[in-house]
């Protein structure tokens, strides 16, 4: 990868502020005009379009900019799953207490609005599929890629994850989003591909939708306990499976 294959710091700084402005404006006017369908359109207009336009205008390599590569070292993808579950557990604990400190009415109202106006399939597309693809391409593709080229992966992961968290405009979500961003950055760096991060992002958002769909009357702070309990069980189950797999593998070598 050459410098021409990534954006420089000035370019991504300008791109981020353009994206923020477009996101705020489109969140107000596009969603107001189009309703629910305006949510994914906002992602396309504000997050995907500016980066894609700059990539094409500056004649950069799209595959390198967005890390659209085959997955290398698949074991790091499975390690990323363990890290994701750990991040969810920590996030659940944080969210449970954060909801008692920060106001959550706007967050609850936005969730209720979306769930009351859409089917489950539409919810998965709007809240899981579209954000997973577009946000990963921007933050773990363009941003992580560019910052890493000028510093190192730790700095790049922290800065790109912070920018990712800030753009969600929520004190309740800022720490969980930052933590997930770091996990996604690690997976992208180790596998050399954006694809595992998109998958993890999609699964993460889909689980939120499905739990809310299955338990529609549950309050958001109680939802944190459900996340914690289920993820702890799942974490130990995956660790056990990995342990057994490793033991069986070692036996075959004897």
Tokens encoding 77? 């993808």
pTM, 2 dp: 0.83
What's the pLDDT score for residue 96?
Answer: 74
Nearest residue to 35 via CA among 136, 114, 122: 114
**CA 8 – CA 227 distance, rounded (Å):** 39
What's the pLDDT score for residue 99?
Answer: 75
**Cα separation values, 197 from 24, 66, 78, 134, Å:** 25, 12, 11, 11
Token match 């890290």: residue?
A: 83
27 pLDDT exceeds 90?
A: no
pLDDT level of residue 242 (50, 70, 90 thresholds):
low
In the chain, alpha helices (H): 9-34, 38-43, 49-57, 62-65, 75-98, 105-117, 120-124, 130-136, 144-150, 153-166, 171-191, 195-214, 220-253
**CA 113 – CA 122 distance, rounded (Å):** 13
For residues 14-20, give the mean pLDDT.
95
pLDDT level of residue 162 (50, 70, 90 thresholds):
very high
> Averaging pLDDT over each range in 32-46, 153-167, 222-236, which range is the top one?
153-167
What's the pLDDT score for residue 226?
Answer: 46
Residues in the chain: 254
Token match 């402005």: residue?
A: 21
48, burial (CB in 10 Å: exposed 0-12, middle 13-18, buried 19+):
middle
What's the pLDDT score for residue 88?
Answer: 84
Q: Which has the higher per-residue pLDDT, 117 or 104?
A: 117
Q: What are 57-84's pLDDT values in tens digits?
A: 999 999 999 999 999 888 898 888 889 8
Tokens encoding 11? 């370019």
The span from the first CA to the last CA of the chain, in angstroms, equals 42
Q: What are 183-202's pLDDT values in tens digits?
A: 999 999 999 999 999 999 99
Angle at Cα 41 formed by Cα 114 and Cα 125, nearest 5°?
Answer: 50
Q: What are 113-154's pLDDT values in tens digits?
A: 677 778 889 989 999 999 999 999 999 999 999 999 988 999
pLDDT level of residue 229 (50, 70, 90 thresholds):
very low
């Amino acid at each position: 990868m050459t410098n021409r294959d990534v954006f420089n710091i000035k370019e991504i700084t300008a791109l981020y502020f353009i994206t923020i402005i477009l996101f705020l404006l489109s969140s107000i006017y596009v969603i107001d005009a189009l309703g629910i369908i305006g949510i994914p359109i906002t992602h396309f207009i504000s997050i995907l379009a500016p980066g894609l336009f700059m990539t094409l205008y500056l004649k950069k390599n799209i595959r390198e900019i967005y890390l659209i590569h085959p997955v290398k070292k698949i074991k790091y993808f499975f390690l990323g799953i363990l890290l994701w579950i750990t991040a969810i557990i920590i996030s659940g604990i944080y969210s449970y207490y954060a909801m008692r400190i920060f106001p959550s009415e706007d967050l609850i109202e936005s969730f209720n609005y979306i769930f009351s106006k859409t089917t489950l399939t539409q919810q998965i597309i709007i809240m899981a599929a579209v954000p997973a693809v577009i946000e990963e391409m921007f933050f773990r593709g363009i941003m992580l890629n560019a910052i890493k080229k000028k510093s190192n992966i730790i700095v790049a992961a922290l800065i790109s994850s912070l920018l990712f968290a800030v753009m969600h405009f929520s004190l309740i979500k800022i720490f969980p989003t930052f933590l997930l961003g770091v996990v996604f950055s690690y997976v992208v760096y180790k596998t050399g591909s954006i694809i595992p991060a998109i998958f993890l992002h999609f699964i993460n958002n889909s689980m939120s939708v499905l739990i809310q769909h299955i338990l529609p009357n549950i309050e958001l702070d109680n939802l944190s306990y459900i996340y914690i309990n289920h993820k702890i069980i799942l974490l130990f189950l995956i660790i056990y499976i990995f342990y057994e797999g490793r033991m069986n593998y070692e036996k075959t070598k004897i």
